[in-house]
Structure 1
């Protein structure tokens, strides 16, 4: 079976591997690391040994997997001896240093950082969108996309496959989870302080978070005026949709939501597309849950996307600013820690298991 077969998409591994796998998680004590552990357990991934790796200051902590304690080990170049699969979620500098060691030890690497996303030799993969790229990983290294790009691509691919997306304008509403566990805690603490009428000085993010929203804290490129998050989303969506020249513009905003990113997308197509067609295509798409109740004014919300594997898509309507009727506007919400990070990485691993590559 090819890695690009629809049978590899959006399902837990259908059969055990030829042998139980030794799986390493790099960055195990972070927010995404915790979700990786939970996803492996919940989806029945064929783990024989789970090796939890983190910085020396986290070594010795105990985390739970399948009801048993697992001790966190300090990461070093020898951590990957005997490892079949290494799931990285500890930042680009850590990935650049240690992913080659994992590859040299014979492991498949799925990297959740930005280190390899724009390397043309490294597949950038969302299984529902471009699983065929998994056939192009001679170095056993696969990149997990930026969370916004991954969530947007799941919503866009069912449309792009039928009418060809020719322009995207997006605005994102990004939760604290995108900045990690410390930012989530800062949102909790700052909100409690605001409700109590107490002063609070931000430590993790640059601006007050409670009852506020602000431009994503990535540095702004002086040449384009876009910040780093916006440029990453544009570049990675082009790779995921196999449209290297796709015109796109994003404005990325941090909002006081604990978990799950949302985004408003206005999408222009090469040919006219009706709202009914778009709803039908999205309703049957893998990884998508249609939430488009016009009568009840019920559309995708972060509160309902949190903890969900699917990307929620709704508020689908014709863009009235385009007289050609070739544009639609829609609203999307997806769990940044799941489809935007941990779940996507585990789905990639499941595809490799299912076809015998891993």
Structure 2
């Protein structure tokens, strides 16, 4: 997860560098340098030190520029040694592969020769059967035997037709059952993703209303939010009844839909903040809907399971990649959580996989959770 954050900080630094804002670029590069990563350390440090050296040189801080230049050179030397080791291993692997391919080729030739011999035997057997059948037909001149043979053939033909009809009937039943099952699954996912999140948010608002009955401002806000959520639930049911999937996202766009959703949920019990960068233009409508459903399900999981008081949604569009980070300060969960995923996480992971993206989960008990998603757009 931290390697993803390092990449995001480096990309943001590049963006500010292109805009000529070197001071802001330095801020993000220092953030990237401060993260403790465990994978590809030399590669990331080389990139960070090289950029820091150039930035300090641009600002004419030559002392710092020289310091990071020396660090960059040290990391470059380390990478060269690693690359040499990799090259040696690749040559060894290539040698072993070629050796194995030669052995496989010899084995394949033996198999081909055996198969050819088997084919010749099969042809001889088939030719013998055909020849024997022809001789038998020529010999069989008895009319009764011909009639019996004709009746047997007719019986076989009828049986074959009946078998084909039964197979077609069974196939039609299988198709019908499969279609019904897919429709049930689609409806279940729609209820879980859409109505589930809305009803979970409504429950949170009603709990907040119950706990702050003496505060008129909180009471009014909770009532308004609850009415909005009830209206959303009604619209969701109405949308499903009319086989529509666009909803609020189609009419308003991704960011307004997320803001509207979180505004109805945020209360004294749970505050949700949204940070966004680079989302000036709308995405393709179906993609916006899928992204909204993913974020909606993540927030629903926080409401149901995290016992959090604060949550943050961060969306960054950079270099045709949408980076989504959903964080909370809740109770978290163990790292082996993936071995027993719930319906929500499994559904989210499947949707992200279908979109060609990646998902990372960073969570520890009593330390909150961070869900990091990268999607190509």
Asked if Structure 1 and Structure 2 have the same fold, meaning a TM-score greater than 0.5 normalized by the shorter chain, the answer is no
The structure with more strand, counted as a fraction of residues: 1
RCO higher in structure (CA 8 A, sep ≥6): 1
Q: Work out which of the two has the higher radius of gyration on C-alpha atoms and give 1 or 2.
A: 2
TM superposition score normalised by structure 2: 0.24
The structure with more helix, counted as a fraction of residues: 2
